[in-house]
Structure 1
Amino acid sequence: MNIIVVDWNRGAANFNYFTAVSYTREAAQNLTGFILTMQEEGASLSSVHLIGVSLGAHLAGFVGANLKGKIGRITGLDPAGPMFTSAKPEERLDPSDAMFVDVLHTDMDSFGLRGAHGHVDFYANGGVDQPGCPKTIFAGKSYFVCDHQRSVFLYLCALNRTCHLTGYPCSSYNHFLDGQCLQCEAFKPASCPVLGYNMSSWRDTLIRLGQTKVYFTTTTSLPYKKLSYRVDMVTWNQYLRWGVVYFRLHSGRSFTEARVDHKLLRFEQYTSTRLLAQFDEDIQNIQKISMRISTGNIIGPRYKMRLIRIRFTPLDHPERPLMCRFDVIMEENMEVSFRPLPCSSHL
């Protein structure tokens, strides 16, 4: 493998962003000529893989378009948004620029480009507001660049194999958080797509499917990966309640917590609910599970709720056993703990 770094800093680091955008075309022409020279010396266009960050993602797309989409692959890391939001496909990165195009989004509400622009688009934390990045302007420069730069750190982590970030196909980030999109049947016998350099297990399927959006969440720092469980539970309560759910997994003195609080959940008499619970730490040999349904009720009486059954399915480690529990009485806003039991196959 030969790695070539294209330094176009004198064009990209222009204080006038509009000028920097115009330089992408000129830089693309120069890089196209270089690749054609490589081809004359025996290199195959199908073996070329361009990785571009921000404006560099569109530059890579222009090179691919110049070469009639015959290069093997383009990876776009949070393609730049300003001046490209309303651009036509030929004016930005798009799937026709290479035989395979994968894109990672981390800052779509600021410097990144919204939408889907590859054969597969990975949306880290929905493509906006990365964990650990500043939330106020008082943080200085980091407030503006942290989300955008996270795409580089996530991809480097994947390249170094220090993290394993699986994206789940879904129509939206909210549906993903709701636990509605945790199936990977389309990619069997492989898993759902994993961010990184080696996409051979999913490439053909993704090209056949067309443009596919996949979602994942991360922690604030290396190795970024969250441990995911699909939680299926059936509750019964006499009165309508709305609330959010908290889980804790315990092993000895160690524990990790998940908050399912992206929206209020409805609990009304006999209710079947599916959740996506994501934990920052991977705890094995789970001895106890704690759970709380928080309704925000601090004045009136605490209503009892009956947890008829609950099942935890490990998504990242399918070899691990499913965990279940049946018939637990709990009160709203009060934590209840129980020992998980093996699940029968029909649940």
Structure 2
Amino acid sequence: EKYGPSTREFHFIGHSLGAHLGGYAGSTLKRFGFTLGRVTGLDPAEPFFEGTETIVRLDPSDADFVDVIHTDGKPILAGGLGLIQPSGHVDFYPNGGMKQPGCGGDITESIDMEDGSIVYGIRRYIGCNHIKANEFFTESIKRDHCPFLAVECPSWEDFQSGKCSCGSGAIRCHVMGMHSRQDYVRKFPVGTQQPVPRSISAYLLTGSEKPFCRYHYRITLFISDTDESISHGADYGFLYLALGDALRTSQPIKLNKKKIKFEPGASYSFMTDLPQPSKITVAILEWRHWRNLFNPFTWRILSQPGLFVNRIDIESLETGE
């Protein structure tokens, strides 16, 4: 009453159970004719909330803008503590939203990361994936140049396969973290915002340690359809790619986690990342043949296995180049 702030100016940030508490705050305010401006859910708690009615969990109706970061969405029986269910206007799933890089190590590493504290070290060891949402959001507050850009996509598998892109005007790419609302309002100005409960699910890659933010590159490999390539036929294998510029080149990055049958005339897309932005001028491609001893169709007896590459397209999601 003294300073006259509007509830629409308030931003509620909650982790785990605190995320759902933000939902309760927003829904309660509505009963009195007020609307909360924003709720950020940092890996909302899963137990007793997954699949429940919106009245008992965080959902898009709780504020003008609800953004959620999912980092530990495995089923509770598999050790997951977070909710995988979409719960906001924009739901972010870094690294697929279930398991985060840098987690799953030795307990002594967790204790070292907490400056030798056994109590906090054990907490980090048990809840490593769960607390990553906090760390990602905290890093996003001081945004230098890396925007924590995420791509709207039907699934994590489609994202990894490079099937999704930012689209015209980067309309399908969304900023995760502190600056998420500004990015959303820029794309969907007041009066044209997408109606609730339509939710955007967006995916991104992060690093295993600080700084977590990464720069994304969509790689498309085109296999030649020349007579020689067609005569050679298809081969199974794995692709590794090193990217760089005049100053530095990355370590080889494994593009496909599962074997792929590379066929003449076909194209294959992948998503990868680098810790620093780079004007890519160097691309070193390595292909490793895969064969099954019990499947003679994967053998190469009379010829050497290989790929006939036509070209490689590399697109930076952050710059659009």
TM-score band, normalised by the shorter chain? Answer: 0.7 to 0.9
Instruction: Give identity over the alignment, percent.
Output: 30
Equivalent in the alignment of 2:265: 270
| Separation of aligned partners in 2, 1:253 and 1:228 | 19
SS at match of 2:20: helix
Change (3 A) 1:86 1:272: closer
Which range moved further: 189-198 or 43-52? Answer: 189-198
CA contact (8 A) 1:108 1:127 kept: yes
Change (3 A) 1:304 1:191: closer
Cα drift, residue 122 of structure 1: 0.7
Cα drift, residue 103 of structure 1: 0.5
Q: Per-residue displacement from partner, 1:27-57 (whole Å, max 9, x unpaired)? A: xxxxxxxxxxxx5752211111111111100
Equivalent in the alignment of 2:55: 90
SS at match of 1:233: strand
CA contact (8 A) 1:243 1:264 kept: yes
Say yes or no: does 1:118 pair with 2:78: no
Equivalent in the alignment of 2:184: 202
Equivalent in the alignment of 2:132: 150
CA contact (8 A) 1:235 1:269 kept: yes
Cα drift, residue 63 of structure 1: 0.6
Change (3 A) 1:275 1:58: same
Q: TM-score, normalised to structure 1's length?
A: 0.73
| Separation of aligned partners in 2, 1:189 and 1:308 | 28
Query: In the alignment, which of 92, 95, 99 is matched to residue 129 of structure 1?
Result: 99
CA contact (8 A) 1:134 1:142 kept: no
Equivalent in the alignment of 1:60: 22
Change (3 A) 1:201 1:250: closer
| AA aligned opposite 1:64 | G
CA contact (8 A) 1:190 1:201 kept: no
| Separation of aligned partners in 1, 2:280 and 2:260 | 29
Q: Per-residue displacement from partner, 1:100-124 (whole Å, max 9, x unpaired)? A: 1110111111010111000000111
Say yes or no: does 1:192 pair with 2:187: no
Change (3 A) 1:117 1:211: same
CA contact (8 A) 1:100 1:207 kept: no
Cα drift, residue 260 of structure 1: 0.9
| AA aligned opposite 2:221 | M
| Separation of aligned partners in 2, 1:77 and 1:280 | 23
CA contact (8 A) 2:205 2:214 kept: yes
CA contact (8 A) 2:150 2:175 kept: yes
Cα drift, residue 201 of structure 1: 3.1
| Separation of aligned partners in 1, 2:81 and 2:310 | 47
Change (3 A) 1:171 1:190: closer
Equivalent in the alignment of 2:207: 219
| AA aligned opposite 1:182 | S
| Separation of aligned partners in 1, 2:208 and 2:244 | 22
Which range moved further: 151-160 or 250-259? Answer: 250-259
| Separation of aligned partners in 2, 1:43 and 1:249 | 50
SS at match of 2:24: helix
Change (3 A) 1:58 1:235: same
Q: How many residues align?
A: 278
For structure 1, which runs of at least 5 residues remain unmatched after alignment?
1-38, 321-347
Greater RCO between the two (CA within 8 Å, min separation 6)? 2
Say yes or no: does 1:258 pair with 2:253: yes
Change (3 A) 1:221 1:168: same
